Structure 1
């Protein structure tokens, strides 16, 4: 804990020092937090900006702590895009205390009307931060990001608009593809049981009942009583499959599977879903669109 506080203090001190005046011809230097945001900003910024993501594949943002290596990236950034809604662990307090510094911070959660957010008792914001699991949300976030990049780098505003338009078209196509796939699953089978409750926005948009063994944050622990209650729910609802998540240890879901089978009800682990991070860079699942298609195909195929 002491080391974490020291690193955070170092970041704030370095940000308080005046940065050199940036050459207007240099590319905008963008730092992003989660892999979903990194992918989004790269699609809109293209070759016109440089992007460095802090969190790679499999990294859990709920538990993420800034390393000493992150300090230089943050200090040199012209702008930092982060989720907000208290997703990014200890970094949130840094971002929220940087309003008077030269480096701009942008919380993409601000793109959404708070009346559309799902409430949460687990986060200081009282909102579920897993906003990327609604294509409707992500389309709004993409539009917001286009506007922010245009404001930060006006000379490339038209190019950002062009890149953004192409990406929005892909997101709308994704939404249609996912809807068609989900409609092939009968309503009574649309029950999604996962390691932690990251899929509420998905459930809201696509009419799934979503239940997480842990709470909204992976920092919470599932107890014996949680496992027992959820096992009874699975049996009552005749749920066919439950799912592991890439950023959460699978032992909790394996314990749930064992609890269900001990009561003579058959349930299988239907696959591993990407939740708080994308897949490996360079793979289809390493993109937001590829990740979402993979998740939906895995869910629907296992629950059919």
Structure 2
């Protein structure tokens, strides 16, 4: 019901003469997740006005648009979002905006679907956590640069230069994390987290990934899920399991308790950033910093 009210507000706002958009000659860009916000900031720099809908620790699977969000979306020149139904509760809003001459851009539409990991949890039929494949994030980068350049050709050289710089940083990140992961023996590469956000990471770096809640945090783990995973941890002699910043800690604590009840021990290896970056102004508040932090946390805990 709430979503329908917001969509009505969207229609009314589109035909209202009131405008809240910043009129300083720069593109007004709205983004959804913190990963996409950070990416667009790197490419757009000081030549765009940017507003991110989601903040640190916000779960995009459960995020609902507010009336304030509708105002931001209506007054945007460009809207970038992940797609693949990651922002599940925003999809209807985006679809309606598409019919109102605004076309929000799903960056995941750039990806070759045949290379994606399948999932029955999402209407897209794909695992949407694609940013954990850095090659995919490079494709996002190129698309953002292309769209900004098309919308603001006068600053296209600026955007393209920023694209080149950021792609070089992503190349460096790939080399760094590859070297770090190679210090962890193959038999110890078992990653147990609150939900299955790390499948693309696991596929790229030869980790067996197991999430307590499955791919979407919209479904909660039951007692049988906890007991089954506890048995797996004991059988595989997993040394550490991990909390996620955007998922309640109690799910992993329940798993740890289940392992201990069977006479075994497993530590909580730290908090990983999965569906959202860390706080703004911190290393983990950037995509590159988050990725490096996650890898260091995983490797140090599992060694």
Q: TM-score, normalised by structure 1?
A: 0.95
Query: Which residue of structure 2 lines up, in the alignment, with residue 233 of structure 1?
Result: 232
Query: Which residue of structure 2 lines up, in the alignment, with residue 159 of structure 1?
Result: 158
Q: 1:131, 1:137 within 8 Å by CA — same for their partners in 2?
A: yes
Query: Which residue of structure 2 lines up, in the alignment, with residue 32 of structure 1?
Result: 31
Larger displacement relative to structure 2 (22-31 or 100-109): 22-31
Query: Which residue of structure 2 lines up, in the alignment, with residue 144 of structure 1?
Result: 143
Aligned residues: 302
Shift in Å, 1:14: 2.3
List alignment gaps of at least 5 residues for structure 1.
Answer: none
Cα 1:24–1:279 shift into 2, 3 Å? closer
Q: Secondary structure at the match of 1:90?
A: helix
CA distance in 2, matches of 1:102, 1:196: 37
Shift in Å, 1:273: 0.5
Pairwise CA RMSD: 1.7
Query: Which residue of structure 1 lines up, in the alignment, with residue 251 of structure 2?
Result: 252
CA distance in 2, matches of 1:109, 1:18: 33
Query: Which residue of structure 1 lines up, in the alignment, with residue 80 of structure 2?
Result: 81
Matched, 1:14 2:13: yes
CA distance in 2, matches of 1:191, 1:17: 54
Q: Secondary structure at the match of 2:194?
A: strand
Shift in Å, 1:24: 9.8
Q: Secondary structure at the match of 1:122?
A: coil
Query: Which residue of structure 1 lines up, in the alignment, with residue 219 of structure 2?
Result: 220
Q: 2:148, 2:156 within 8 Å by CA — same for their partners in 1?
A: yes
Q: What is the correspondence of 1:122-133 to structure 2 with a 5 Å cutoff? A: 122-133=121-132
Cα 1:23–1:72 shift into 2, 3 Å? closer
Per-residue deviation, residues 147-184 of structure 1 (Å, max 9, x unmatched): 12111211111110001100110011001001000010
Query: Which residue of structure 2 lines up, in the alignment, with residue 58 of structure 1?
Result: 57
Q: TM-score, normalised by structure 2?
A: 0.96
Query: Which residue of structure 2 lines up, in the alignment, with residue 71 of structure 1?
Result: 70
